[in-house]
C-alpha cells in the first residue's frame, strides 16, 4: 500500500514546532491567532512547564484563554509602551515579498496592532499559504457597525464584491472589539500597496487584512520539514 504524505495539519505542526526556536527565555512576545497557532500554544505550554519564562500579548480572546489554561503568562492589558520582541502569527496568504492577507480568524485588528508594536514578526504557515499573487483568499476589512452598508458600497466600488461575515447562527460576526467584518473578493490584487491606501481612506474602516512591510520571516511547514522564507527582491 502506498504511503500517504503529511496532511495539512501535519504541515502546520511542523511549522509551529520550528517557530518555537525563536522564543527565548524572558521574552515578551506577541501570540497570534489561527489554526497553526493553535498547535503552537500547547507546544509552548509544555516548554513553560519545563521552566521557560515568557509573557504573551495575545491577539484574540481565544488565544489568551488557550494560553492561560496551559500556564503561559498572558498580559490582560497592553498599552504599547513596552516593545514586543517578537510576534508569531499565521496568515491566509503570503506573497514573495512577504505581504500578507490575514483576518480569516476575525482577529486582524489586534493582530496588526501587536505586530506593529513588535521588533520582528514571524509568520507560521503550511506551504499552501504561499502564493505568487494575493487575492484568491477573501480580504477581510473590519468596520464600525454604524453605516457599514455604505462602507460596503465603497469597497464594492474598488472591486471588492463584499459580503458581511456571519456567525454560525446567521447573525453578523462581531469581533473582540465589537466591530463587523466585510469579506472582500477582489480576485488577483495587482497593487496591494495602492489598494491598502484606498481602503484606509474610507471612513468607517477600522483596519484591513493587508499586512505590508510587517512580516520579516515565514516558517513554512513542508513535506521535508520546516523551511525559512525571506522576502524576495522586487
Return d(Cα 113, Cα 117) in angstroms, integer. 6
Return d(Cα 233, Cα 141) in angstroms, integer. 28
Return d(Cα 232, Cα 234) in angstroms, integer. 6
> What distances in angstroms separate CA 113 from CA 47, 72, 97, 234, one per listed residue?
26, 21, 21, 26
> What distances in angstroms separate CA 222 from CA 7, 65, 86, 134, one per listed residue?
10, 29, 23, 20
- CB-based contact 144:174 (threshold 8 Å): no
Note if 111 is an active site residue. Answer: yes
Closest alpha carbon to 134 in 102, 162, 90, 110: 102
Set 111, 198, 207, 223: catalytic member: 111
Task: Specify burial of residue 132 (Cβ count, 10 A radius: 0-12, 13-18, 19+).
Answer: exposed
Q: Using the 8-state DSSP alphabet, how is residue 130 labeled?
A: B
Catalytic residue ranges: 111
Amino acid at each position: 500500500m502506498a504511503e500517504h504524505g503529511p496532511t495539512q495539519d501535519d504541515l502546520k505542526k511542523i511549522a509551529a514546532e520550528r517557530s518555537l526556536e525563536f522564543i527565548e527565555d524572558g521574552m515578551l512576545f506577541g501570540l497570534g491567532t489561527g489554526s497553526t497557532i493553535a498547535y503552537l500554544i500547547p507546544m509552548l505550554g509544555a516548554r513553560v512547564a519545563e521552566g521557560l519564562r515568557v509573557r504573551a500579548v495575545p491577539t484574540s480572546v481565544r488565544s489568551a484563554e488557550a494560553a492561560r489554561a496551559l500556564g503561559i503568562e498572558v498580559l490582560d492589558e497592553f498599552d504599547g509602551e513596552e516593545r514586543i520582541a517578537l510576534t508569531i502569527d499565521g496568515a491566509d496568504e503570503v506573497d514573495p515579498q512577504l505581504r500578507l492577507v490575514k483576518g480569516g480568524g476575525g482577529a486582524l485588528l489586534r493582530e496588526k496592532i501587536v505586530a506593529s508594536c513588535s521588533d520582528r514578526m514571524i509568520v507560521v504557515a503550511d506551504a499552501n499559504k504561499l502564493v505568487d499573487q494575493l487575492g484568491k483568499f477573501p480580504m477581510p476589512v473590519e468596520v464600525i457597525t454604524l453605516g457599514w452598508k455604505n462602507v460596503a458600497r465603497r469597497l464594492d466600488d474598488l472591486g471588492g464584491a463584499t459580503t458581511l461575515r456571519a456567525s454560525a447562527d446567521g447573525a453578523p460576526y462581531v469581533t473582540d472589539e465589537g466591530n463587523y467584518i466585510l469579506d472582500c473578493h477582489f480576485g488577483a490584487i495587482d497593487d496591494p500597496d495602492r489598494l491598502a491606501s484606498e481602503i484606509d481612506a474610507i471612513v468607517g474602516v477600522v483596519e484591513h487584512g493587508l499586512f505590508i512591510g510587517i512580516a520579516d520571516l515565514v516558517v513554512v511547514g513542508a513535506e521535508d520539514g520546516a523551511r525559512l522564507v525571506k522576502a524576495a527582491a522586487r
